[in-house]
Amino acid sequence: MFSSVLIANRGEIACRIIRSARALGMRTIAVYSDADASALHVRMADEAHRIGPADAASSYLSIPALLTAAHESGAECVHPGYGFLAENADFAEACAKAGVAFVGPPVHAMRIMGLKDAAKAAMQKAHVPIVSGYHGTRQEPRFLRDKAYELGYPVLIKAVAGGGGKGMRRVDSHMEFEAALADAQREALAAFGNAHVLVEKLIATPRHIEFQIFADAAGDVVHLHERDCSLQRRHQKILEEAPAPGLGETMRAKMGAAAVAAARAVSYTGAGTVEFIVDAAKGLDDAPFFFMEMNTRLQVEHAVTEAITGLDLVALQFEIAAGEPLGFTQADVARNGHAVEVRLYAEDPEREFLPSSGKIVSLEWPAGEGLRVDTGFEAGDAVQPFYDALIAKIIAHGATREEALSRLAKALRATWIAGPKTNLAFLRALCVAPFMRTGTYDTGSIERDATALGIGPRDLDRQAAATGVAFLIAQEQAQFARGGDDPWDVQDGFSLAPPHPVPRPLLADARRFVAQVRFDAQGSHVEIDGVPATKPGADLRLVPWDRGVLVLRAGRQVVIRFPDERDFEAVEVEGEEAIVAPLPGRLVELLVTPGMHVEKGARVGTLEAMKLAHALVAPRAGIVREVLSEQGAQVGQGARIVIIGE
Ligand code: ADP
């Protein structure tokens, strides 16, 4: 076994790898960008090396910087985690050249599986079923459009270098094809530096069922059963479970054998995941299934497999990378009970899932039987805007699916996080959704039930907001009592007349509201639109923060503040007529010039942020009065880009 490992990653996965490496007696070496100098993975590791500035391209994605750190620390092996360079064959090759073992599959297998077109070709040769489509080298729009027509709409355009659902577009008609192709290519080029795409038939009722496989250098290959990852949003996984609900033994055996064949076809070693798409229009029994891709690394969702098999997948990866045999056969692989995982992200489901960032002001994780929380954060740490916004994975295991789900639901009710916006309320709704209880979902379920799941704009929780206002008023009064403030500044409605309500403007998540505040002998009484404040308690928490208060209830957070001089600018950009950048990013496309007429909803430009393209659209019809930025410019969050007037 190795005696030391450099973990070329950050966040929860770096922390998780450190745990297994340490248990194996290895010296753990972390790397960090300037943004992560005091991050949890750095605090946990035995030693840590700086690899560059915050920008991932100059740090976690920099092969020279990582190799220098490996050299300086004397690391015997490198574990890449997932994301970043985990599936980068050049990195694996560079490690080998530098004499450091790469904890992952052989370079040739990574190269084939790294491109969806090459992978499909290899699978076709190995008689693993693939979705029909065009995965050749020709890329002319006309040609691809003809192929789409031959396949029959709807089709899916996929970036061959794609991952995480990026560079993927569904196309329903011939007319839409070229625009969708251009979008997919632009996104693919930005995210992967490779604009090549393939076109395949879209499966209408798809289930995403993947098999974890493990192979050793002697050529033994096993699978560790499947995971169902059908619950996705925009092709990104949100909830994963093992086993797949409704998957019978015959199908499991057939798919497992295909997964093993896929691994053998590329002489695989180490941990990998073979992803299949199942056409579940008529249920799972005997359903058609197709190879989608193989991920040549550890998956985010590996923990559900660990829960049901009792294996430590990271430890197994190290053993195989060190040349040890698997040491067990297919028949030895356990399948105990059921496990479900959800991904807690710093993002706002009420605002198009915009990534959120900033300091985690307070944090409380659930604990109990069958629960596991994998995170890279503690209270006081900051979610960085430069990287993936995953805060934690919460995993529940039980003897049955029902038990696992009820443990998960309970765990999410006992999770409290204040600071960045999170998808906690959405996850809570998801794990008790009807399709979840029955286990009869497909990859479109979340989108179809979006509103019931709390996706999209929602009303302010007025009771929560009023409770926050009451807290801020009590704080003001306490300060006044201590003589801290000029008494005339405190709006306590002091008057000789009978008590009457005083209007008090407030900002709830930067939106303006007015509370009515009445004072009497008992203290203050706050209402917003007739809804009175309540008391904090088991289902509502208040966390004071930056002259305001964060109110937490039902997995949602609202920031309550009284407006001050800082707000003028913010309020101005909220005006109907300015199109502002929802995130910091680069303006990759600007489609309007002053004097142009635009319709409501027309796209005026494209902002590339967090490697995704965000359309900037006109909030109303009108004339472009001003263009305040230029194509290619870097813009900050809230920056005004286009002004539309009468
Ligand atoms: P990525 O590498 O970007 O994650 P995948 O090829 O793994 O892309 O596909 C991601 C998701 O997109 C799948 O889990 C599935 O939900 C959906 N998907 C992929 N191919 C198809 C298809 N042919 N028909 C319908 N949905 C698909």
CATH code, domain carrying 95: 3.40.50.20
Whether 408 and 484 share a structural domain: no
Whether 189 and 258 share a structural domain: no
Q: What is the CATH number of the domain that holds 467?
A: 3.30.700
Q: Is there a domain that residue 181 lies in? A: yes
Measured in whole angstroms, the distance separating CA 199 from the mean position of its chain's CA atoms is 25
Whether 449 and 506 share a structural domain: no
Q: Report the separation in Å between the CA atom of 279 and the middle of ligand 1, taken as the mean of its atom positions.
A: 12
CB of 551 closer than 8 Å to CB of 528: no
Whether 217 and 329 share a structural domain: yes
CB of 56 closer than 8 Å to CB of 387: yes
CB of 292 closer than 8 Å to CB of 200: no
pTM of the complete model: 0.86
The residue whose CB lies within 8 Å of the most ligand 1 atoms, and thus the one to mutate among 113, 155, 277, is 277
Q: Report the separation in Å between the CA atom of 197 and the middle of ligand 1, taken as the mean of its atom positions.
A: 13
Q: Is there a domain that residue 356 lies in? A: yes
Q: Could you read off the pLDDT of 339-387 as tens digits, one per residue? A: 999 999 999 999 889 888 889 999 999 999 999 999 999 999 999 988 9
Q: Could you read off the pLDDT of 467-503 as tens digits, one per residue? A: 999 999 999 988 878 876 555 555 555 554 456 888 9
The residue whose CB lies within 8 Å of the most ligand 1 atoms, and thus the one to mutate among 292, 301, 445, 612, is 292
- What residues are in contact with ligand 1 under a 6 Å CB criterion? 131, 156, 158, 162-166, 168, 200-203, 206, 208, 232, 235, 275, 277, 292-293, 443
Residue 518's pLDDT is 93
Residue 601's pLDDT is 76
What is the C-alpha to C-alpha distance for residues 526 and 250, in angstroms, rounded to an integer?
A: 62
Q: Give me the domain span that covers residue 618.
A: 570-645
Whether 452 and 489 share a structural domain: no
Measured in degrees and rounded to the nearest 5, phi and psi for residue 89 equal -65, -30
What is the C-alpha to C-alpha distance for residues 444 and 435, in angstroms, rounded to an integer?
A: 11
Whether 548 and 620 share a structural domain: no
Say which residues have a Cβ less than 8 Å from residue 282's Cβ, sequence separation at least 6.
none
In the block, which residue shows the tokens 């039980």? 398
Q: Is there a domain that residue 120 lies in? A: no
For residue 166, give the ligand 1 atom closest to its CA. 3
| Cβ count near 232 (within 10 Å) | 20
Number of domains in the chain: 6
Residue 586's pLDDT is 86
Q: Could you read off the pLDDT of 142-197 as tens digits, one per residue? A: 999 999 999 999 999 999 998 878 899 999 999 999 999 999 999 999 988 999 99
Q: Is there a domain that residue 169 lies in? A: yes
Q: Is there a domain that residue 158 lies in? A: yes
Of 299, 149, 147, the closest CA to residue 212 belongs to 299
What's the whole-number mean pLDDT along residues 301-316?
A: 98
In the block, which residue shows the tokens 């995170």? 375
Whether 304 and 317 share a structural domain: yes
Q: Is there a domain that residue 393 lies in? A: yes
Whether 272 and 328 share a structural domain: yes
Listed range (215-219, 508-512, 537-541) with the worst mean pLDDT: 508-512
Q: Report the separation in Å between the CA atom of 208 and the middle of ligand 1, taken as the mean of its atom positions.
A: 8
Measured in degrees and rounded to the nearest 5, phi and psi for residue 521 equal -60, -30
pLDDT at 220 exceeding the cut of 80: yes
pLDDT at 569 exceeding the cut of 50: no
Whether 147 and 254 share a structural domain: no
Q: Is there a domain that residue 499 lies in? A: yes
For residue 202, give the ligand 1 atom closest to its CA. 24
State the chain's mean pLDDT as an integer. 92
Whether 393 and 480 share a structural domain: no
Q: Report the separation in Å between the CA atom of 292 and the middle of ligand 1, taken as the mean of its atom positions.
A: 7
Q: What is the CATH number of the domain that holds 440?
A: 3.30.470.20
Q: Is there a domain that residue 119 lies in? A: no
Polymer length in residues for the chain: 646
Domain termination residue (choose one: 201, 223, 243): 201
In the block, which residue shows the tokens 């489609």? 591
Whether 415 and 514 share a structural domain: no
Residue 521's pLDDT is 81
